[in-house]
Structure 1
């Protein structure tokens, strides 16, 4: 593979300074490119009482707030829904627990639906239609019937719509390492062998053998796929690949760096949407972007 220069991230969205004194429970970028921060007055214990929260949204002109009342889940993932509402879900869950794990809020921040999605949520991403794609890590896959498929699609009211099933050329998912929810396809790169799998129209559409192991995220554009943060010594490496008939072919390796060219350091979040990888590093007040359509 031919080496190339480091690739700087592009600044994308920042939490306004007026909110920096609040606790960031979680943050994400939705299917329409809007950045959201779920904020509380302070950190809450995993088994604490219901609490008040505010979602700060950046991306539709001026930042705006949505106040959520009587939020129950703790230790959460969250995302925005197509109708302007939000879903907040605890990452860990037990059968028959009360209250249910996931809570949906309407566009005015009022609680509506509650339901259970399964234990050990690694990824929770809503698509443009408002359905939910949930990827699970190993403790849920091997310990909870709802999580056992490794990847599931749910309606915004908690109805199961699709689940991953083992088939020719693909093993069971043992851990949903990386998930990309695009406009037309959903892509997953799971442990153990890390195949690249495309899900389209409610079915497993294609599977590629993949030599890139352990990526935490990836972007897809045409026959190009760029993996971020594979396993190895360099936590911020990029592997630029091309899709063949049956296998992923690495072409170049480089490093992803901050917009100013400095090294990425500290804990980070990654959200993958089609050709885009959004990266956020601690203290999680800003999102940056790698968009592979810019140089495809």
Structure 2
């Protein structure tokens, strides 16, 4: 039996204003600059063959909301993120080889670019320069689209391939990108099957840190501290705080990430940015945040 664990509570971060809560939430994210975004429509598309639809992105920055209207959105079940120039990228996670399933919109909501990045998108996160980091799940990695086979790639916002993961010492091929953190121009990832913590810096390549925590779905990093969130079965809300060494992760404390009221988390979305893990539960109208840079070691364990 798993012993009781210390409860670790996130803080309230952003809320979708009530004015918009009669609209349908297609997706929501937190970008590289700490702005929360909701992609909203009047009615959800009924299928992949639905004609393009109009949508509105509601952005909450420092508690203040503003709108960006997008025309001719094609994705039925979109992933999306914001670009530093005020534009947005929207993608359909599943696609066929002939489909340009990624759309880039400018700051006025006009369609600027379409291209493809491969099938089986698990994560689509932009960095502060506007590049797209895409992590793929197993059906993409082992599917027919060779763009997805590496498991993790970086693309320009115009669809140019910029970087492709290749196995390094201590880390084999990616079978499924379970967790992805994008901050600044760098990324961190944790992938099936052995879940090494991958440190990816454009100017330094990839460094692997051996890790014994399995099923990690989110991670945060600050200096040499790392937080690993998630796991299988009853460990779905596990939070392990550890220290990064040159070659591995040394676990220090273990707890559960809970709701601000102390009850256990249910179905949720995660976005990981540097030292922060953003958590959003159904009905997906709000974001909570755990920032490990603000938490002394002892407070993380109580």
State TM-score, norm by structure 1: 0.95
Counterpart-to-counterpart distance in 2, 1:285 and 1:9: 16
Alignment-derived partner of residue 215 in structure 1:
216
Note if 1:6 corresponds to 2:12. Answer: no
Deviation at 1:263, TM superposition (A): 2.0
4+ aligned runs moved over 4 Å, structure 1: none
Contact 2:137 2:175 in 1 (8 A): yes
- Give the match's secondary structure for 1:6: strand
Deviations 1:250-287 (A, max 9, x none): 1111111111222222x210000000000000000000
Alignment-derived partner of residue 42 in structure 2:
41
Deviation at 1:178, TM superposition (A): 0.2
Deviation at 1:61, TM superposition (A): 4.9
Counterpart-to-counterpart distance in 2, 1:128 and 1:12: 20
- Give the match's secondary structure for 1:293: helix
Contact 2:170 2:209 in 1 (8 A): no
Alignment-derived partner of residue 272 in structure 1:
272
Contact 1:3 1:253 in 2 (8 A): no
Give runs of aligned pairs for residues 111-190 of structure 1, distance below 5 A.
111-143=111-143, 144-190=145-191
Structure 1 segments unaligned to the other structure (5+ residues): none
Contact 2:179 2:189 in 1 (8 A): yes
In structure 2, relative to structure 1, the CA distance for the partners of 1:147 and 1:162 (3 Å cut) is same
- Give the match's secondary structure for 2:19: helix
Structure 2 segments unaligned to the other structure (5+ residues): 297-302
Counterpart-to-counterpart distance in 2, 1:202 and 1:94: 33
Deviations 1:123-174 (A, max 9, x none): 0000000000000001111111000110000001110000001233321100
Alignment-derived partner of residue 105 in structure 2:
105
Note if 1:96 corresponds to 2:83. Answer: no
- Give the match's secondary structure for 2:235: coil
State TM-score, norm by structure 2: 0.93
- Give the match's secondary structure for 2:234: coil
Deviation at 1:249, TM superposition (A): 1.0
Note if 1:205 corresponds to 2:198. Answer: no
Alignment-derived partner of residue 295 in structure 2:
295
- Give the match's secondary structure for 1:225: strand
RMSD: 1.5
In structure 2, relative to structure 1, the CA distance for the partners of 1:147 and 1:203 (3 Å cut) is farther
Counterpart of 1:59 (choices 54, 58, 61) is: 61
Counterpart-to-counterpart distance in 2, 1:31 and 1:262: 29
Count, aligned residues? 292
Counterpart-to-counterpart distance in 2, 1:37 and 1:4: 33
Counterpart-to-counterpart distance in 2, 1:108 and 1:201: 31
Contact 1:269 1:281 in 2 (8 A): yes
Counterpart-to-counterpart distance in 1, 2:123 and 2:211: 21
